[in-house]
Amino acid sequence: MYLYCFAQAVYPHSKIPPTRFNRQRREVAYVASRGEPPRFIPWEDVIACVSSSMVATPHGTQQ
């Protein structure tokens, strides 16, 4: 049962290819959907937003 729930939670995330940051060429490789060629965009043209959160539990804090 646990394996099934884990697979259901992970599968949608595995469909989306990760965004790659190339520090040597100062480019970002972005793939909109699996099977399409990557788009290479210069760092200067990219705006990235990152969120962060912290949860307090009885056992401590988690990020």
- As a whole number, mean pLDDT of residues 29-44 equals 86
Domain extent for 38: 17-62
Structure tokens at 23: 């520090």
- The count of domains in the chain is 1
* Residue 45 belongs to a domain: yes
* Residue 9 belongs to a domain: no
* Residue 42 belongs to a domain: yes
* Residue 2 belongs to a domain: no
* Residue 11 belongs to a domain: no
- As a whole number, mean pLDDT of residues 51-59 equals 79
pLDDT of residue 53: 80
* Residue 55 belongs to a domain: yes
Q: CA 34, CA 32: separation in Å to the nearest integer?
A: 7
Q: CA 23, CA 37: separation in Å to the nearest integer?
A: 20
* Residue 50 belongs to a domain: yes
Q: Are 40 and 31 in contact (CB under 8 A)?
A: no
* Residue 7 belongs to a domain: no
pLDDT at 12 over 70: no
Give the pTM: 0.50
- Cα 26-27-32 angle, rounded to 5 deg: 165
